[in-house]
């Protein structure tokens, strides 16, 4: 696969890469006129393109071919997560993109420590793009607006499988294997992962009244990002 670059909007037979993407193509990849690259805009389409002109960090390209390539999961996955601290957020988002997660919602919880700030969310959006470039996804993981857990639990569609990671619940493997919706044409999973201190008893009780099931992820204590990746991977390996 040729080097991939993201452009938020591609229309017509010409495209221009500027900013960090243009800089990377010119100064890191050492592109020249005639260099062939792959562009994507998050719509699901890949664009085969050829460099026609370079001006410092501005690159003009000719679109040669458009191809609809779907590398998404058959099952839509939403991760609602009380974000961990620091660079662990970036790692979580990167792996969620690689595993095919469709949406990530930062949760505000009673015991949450790292409250999601708008500036941090903007940085994570850049991580989404970089991870999509690397793993070949043509659609971008959506990062939703921060939300109180009880609000998220209340408005989750009843048609989706709603699972909250919590010690003492049913083993996750058993829960996924026995879900009656596994054969549905449009299956959707919504997973909720709490902060390091876990969800409070009251939060779990509210979610349970809304139809959420609790899932135990095993006898070892997992970090937030590990739990999130474990849940996403459980769906991703099924395709």
CATH number at residue 14: 2.40.240.20
Average pLDDT estimate for 129-146: 95
Are 216 and 184 contained in the same domain? Answer: yes
Are 151 and 185 contained in the same domain? Answer: yes
Q: DSSP H helical segments within 169-211, as ranges?
A: 172-177, 201-209
The number of helices, as runs of H, and strands, as runs of E, in the chain is: 7, 12
Please state whether 167 falls in left (phi above 0), alpha (psi between -120 and 50) or beta: beta
Are 125 and 161 contained in the same domain? Answer: yes
Are 19 and 53 contained in the same domain? Answer: yes
Comparing 236 with 156, which gets the higher pLDDT?
Answer: 236
Comparing 239 with 75, which gets the higher pLDDT?
Answer: 75
Average pLDDT estimate for 198-212: 95
Are 53 and 115 contained in the same domain? Answer: no
CATH number at residue 144: 3.40.1280.10
Are 51 and 124 contained in the same domain? Answer: no
Are 60 and 151 contained in the same domain? Answer: no
Are 113 and 47 contained in the same domain? Answer: no
Neighbouring C-beta atoms of residue 25, cutoff 10 Å: 21
Comparing 56 with 131, which gets the higher pLDDT?
Answer: 131
pTM, full prediction:
0.91
Domain that holds residue 174: 76-236
Comparing 172 with 239, which gets the higher pLDDT?
Answer: 172
Crossing angle of helices 87-98 and 118-135, rounded to 10°: 40
The tens digit of pLDDT for each residue in 88-109 reads 999 999 999 999 999 999 999 9
Residue 147 corresponds to which tokens in the numbers above?
Answer: 């939300």
Q: What are the CA-CA distances from residue 182 to residues 132, 177, 179, 229 (Å)?
A: 27, 8, 6, 20
The tens digit of pLDDT for each residue in 2-15 reads 589 999 889 889 99
pLDDT at 1: 40
Are 36 and 124 contained in the same domain? Answer: no
Are 64 and 80 contained in the same domain? Answer: no
């Amino acid at each position: 696969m040729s080097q991939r670059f993201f452009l938020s909007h591609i229309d017509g037979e010409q495209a221009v890469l500027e900013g960090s993407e243009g800089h990377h193509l010119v100064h890191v990849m050492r592109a020249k006129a005639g260099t062939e690259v792959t562009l994507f805009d998050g719509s699901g389409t890949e664009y085969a393109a050829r460099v026609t002109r370079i001006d410092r960090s501005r690159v003009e390209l000719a679109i040669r071919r458009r191809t609809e390539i779907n590398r998404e999961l058959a099952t839509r996955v939403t991760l609602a997560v009380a974000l961990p601290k620091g660079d662990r957020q970036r790692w979580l988002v990167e792996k969620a993109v690689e595993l095919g997660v469709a949406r990530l919602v930062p949760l505000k919880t009673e015991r949450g420590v790292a409250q999601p700030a708008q500036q941090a969310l903007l940085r994570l959006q850049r991580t989404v793009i970089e991870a999509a470039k690397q793993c070949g996804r043509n659609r971008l993981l959506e990062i939703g607006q921060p939300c109180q857990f009880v609000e998220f639990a209340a408005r989750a569609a009843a048609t989706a499988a709603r699972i909250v990671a919590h010690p003492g619940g049913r083993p996750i493997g058993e829960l996924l294997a026995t879900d009656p919706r596994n054969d549905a044409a449009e299956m959707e999973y919504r997973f909720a992962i709490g902060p390091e201190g876990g969800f409070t008893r009251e939060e779990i009780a509210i979610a349970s009244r809304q139809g959420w099931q609790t899932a135990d992820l095993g006898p070892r204590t997992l970090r937030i990002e590990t739990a999130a990746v474990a849940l996403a991977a459980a769906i991703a390996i099924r395709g």
